[in-house]
Structure 1
């Protein structure tokens, strides 16, 4: 089988699938991306580039579409080069939204086009209208509608689609649901597993919490409202008053990955630490971590806070569950698809830092009660999200697309 993966961020959701396909010498696997770092054995990586950036004078509603077209053109040029060398894929499998898949049916009309549908944007009912203190207006409504243009083109053109959770598929127009299979990428449960009595010691960043009994953890790509970072900092301020021996480990970059930046140019970290001065000797910002160090954080966690707007569910929450973390999570739709309160986690109101504080204390004060919740946390991943089960099914779904 010849397969062409498309994703601007290599290898992203296709890491496990590309790896297993690349191990079979009967396959030819090419991955087009604009990220130069990283390689996978048996997978040929090719770099595509945009010819230019989006022009500043472009109407702001249309800028995401213009960027998607520029991405698609870059991919098309790479695809033409591959075609000139005799490569014609049986499968093109790409992430929908950024644009790489847009012109694949034009250059490879006989190839089966598979799309990974992660999110469909809505003005109301999910992330955009979630915060009552940040209401949307008519300008936002129009901008959000147009943001779906490249995704709708892919929905019309692709042969099959896949979405990682039922909640995420539910955001897409109902008329396309039959075209989109719900199938998660899978969590490596042999890697993300509990380690009894784990201690946290990361000499690379001079982090030694090996003598600390209470470690509260938080993981996100960025420090931003979408993942509840402001509420986290306020909850930590409350917790520091009541748990003088507790330490907090925050994994992520000081940036906005989703949503809006602050208008004054400050980061949310800067703004929140000005508003809530913390005892920084007990708060540890690690930046992003390599997998082995990230795993140590999860394994040593006494309680793990995960907050999210109704948006894409983070891998990190599922990885934390797989590691047996005691998760204090927002009672929002993507979370409640996986976590049931007092069964495999503890749920809180996203906007209520005091409740976050109280439930973390509940977790810290009741380790015996929480042991069964930790066990159930791992069980849900083993049952529904285990890579060992899902990867063969994902692979079969791809193979079936060639023969049907």
Structure 2
């Protein structure tokens, strides 16, 4: 069977599924912007495609996002057509539609079955768009219209979709009811054999200091340090946290860019904005115990989680981060925001503590309560790891389910182009 993967940053969410299919003997190929030259990775042939034009001037701001996706969709379409002209015909197309690439592929290969990774449908109600008034102070009707138009990409892709795949129920349920029966909820999977507790873990910081399980380590991890992931809430709780925990070392992982949501004022970063907000409240001796590590290699990230006594995870009602499940898998004690996606992963008082996203005092109190109670920390960590192994384990649960999804997709009847 020929399987074509489409992902701007391949392998992305297909990093386990694509190699597993290749290992089964299927002919797997991927189209992506990530590489410049053809390469083979774990049995998957990866081909680049190039974007030949940039966004135009004077495009209505509500349509700028859509134009970018159409440009990518056209580029991927032309690369696909070139493959077709050489005789390549996939049986299955498995695509992440988030950047627009797959929107015209039914026109190239009408008989292919198309499976889409359904990551998020943008909702404009108060609980989603208006969740954090500080960064959306003027939530008016026009802003709701802009967000609604962000879904044009979803609305072009969904009629082409024979089957969908979503990693959590929260994410699947953001999609319109008419499409939900096509979406299977199967997580990307956590390698719990690799992401396991390690009492001997040692993390060497850039200043040469070594941290182990004997140290009081608090961790906070984002892809980028920004409000969508609660960075501002964590930073505002930091002065009191350092004062109450004079022996704690605080490790903060994340870049300076914006992955989601509002951009900072021009020339600034959210990271520095909130450092500047709280720095005057923190004595130099306490500030020396705060370590901004930026983005770090994965093996170092795993070690960081393994030495963590309390891991803090905050998020708007949005896509759930892999890092939460990874922290749970290594047995970290979790304090997390009581928001929709997190409630699917954390049972309050059993596998972690949940606190109101905006309640910095509750975040502080629950973090300190765990730091003061080794038995509860151990119980939470063990329960969290058991929960991940029982529901999200890569090899035993998620990858077999993904492969089953592929088998069902292969047996499906292909849809048609919808005008």
TM tier, shorter chain? over 0.9
Is the counterpart of residue 5 in structure 1 residue 2 in structure 2?
no
Report the secondary structure of 2:242's partner residue. Answer: helix
CA distance in structure 1 between the aligned counterparts of 2:152 and 2:355, rounded to whole angstroms = 35
State the alpha-carbon separation in 2 of the partners of residues 382 and 332 from structure 1.
22
Q: Is the 8 A contact 1:97 1:148 kept in 2?
A: no
1:358 aligns with 2:365: yes
How is 1:141-220 mapped onto 2 (pairs within 5 angstroms)? Answer: 141-201=144-204, 206=208, 208-210=210-212, 213-220=215-222
CA positional deviation for 1:321: 0.7
Report how far residue 197 of structure 1 moved. Answer: 4.7
Q: Distance in 2 between matches of 1:327 and 1:78?
A: 45
Task: Check whether the contact 1:126–1:311 (CA below 8 A) recurs between aligned residues.
Answer: no
Q: How does 1:238-249 map to 2 (within 5 A)?
A: 238-249=240-251
Partner Cα separation in structure 2 for residue 41 and residue 60 of structure 1:
41
Structure 1 residues 283 and 333: CA distance shift in structure 2, 3 A: same
Pick the aligned partner of 1:330 from 337, 347, 352. 337
TM-aligned CA deviation for residue 206 of structure 1: 4.4
Task: State the distance in 2 between where 1:242 and 1:196 align.
Answer: 26
1:5-44 superposed Cα distances (whole Å, 9 cap, x missing partner)? 11111211000001111223x3111111111289622111
Q: 1:308 is paired with a residue of what secondary structure?
A: coil
- Residue 294 of structure 1 is matched in structure 2 by 301
2:415 match? none
Q: CA deviation at 1:296?
A: 0.3
Aligned to 1:274: 276
What is the deviation of 1:339?
0.5
1:35 aligned residue? 34
Equivalent-residue separation in structure 2 for 1:86 and 1:399 (angstroms): 24
Cα offsets for 1:271-330 (capped at 9, x unmatched)? 111110143311111111111100000000010000000000001101111111111000
Deviation at 1:263, TM superposition (A): 2.3
CA–CA distance in 1 between the matches of 2:161 and 2:105? 9
Aligned to 1:105: 106
Cα distance per residue 1:112-133 (max 9 Å; x no partner): 0110110001111543210133
Deviating more after overlay: 130-139 vs 364-373: 130-139
Q: Which runs of 5+ in 2 are unaligned?
A: 413-419
Map 1:71-110 → 2, pairs under 5 A: 71-110=72-111
In 1, are the aligned partners of 2:264 and 2:270 still within 8 Å (CA)?
yes
The answer to whether the aligner puts 1:64 opposite 2:72 as a matched pair is: no
Kept in 2, the 8 Å contact 1:130–1:309? The answer is yes
Matches within 5 A, 1:310-349: 310-349=317-356
* 1:397 aligned residue (376, 383, 405): 405
- Find the counterpart in structure 2 of residue 47 from structure 1: 48
4+ long deviations beyond 6 Å? none
Which TM-score applies when normalising by structure 2? 0.92
The correspondence for 2:383, drawn from 358, 369, 376, is 376
Q: Tell me which of 229, 234, 237 is aligned to 2:236.
A: 234
Any idea what SS the aligned residue of 1:103 has?
helix
CA contact 1:89–1:111 (8 Å) conserved in 2: yes
Task: Give the Cα–Cα distance (whole angstroms) in 1 for the partners of residues 102 and 266 of structure 2.
Answer: 36
- Tell me which moved more, 44-53 or 211-220: 211-220
Secondary structure of the equivalent of 2:215?
Answer: coil
Q: Work out whether residues 212 and 247 of structure 1, in 8 Å CA contact, stay in contact via their aligned partners in 2.
A: no
SS at 2:41's partner residue?
Answer: coil
Q: Which has the higher contact order (CA 8 A, sep 6+)?
A: 2
Residues 335, 367 of structure 2: 8 Å contact kept: yes
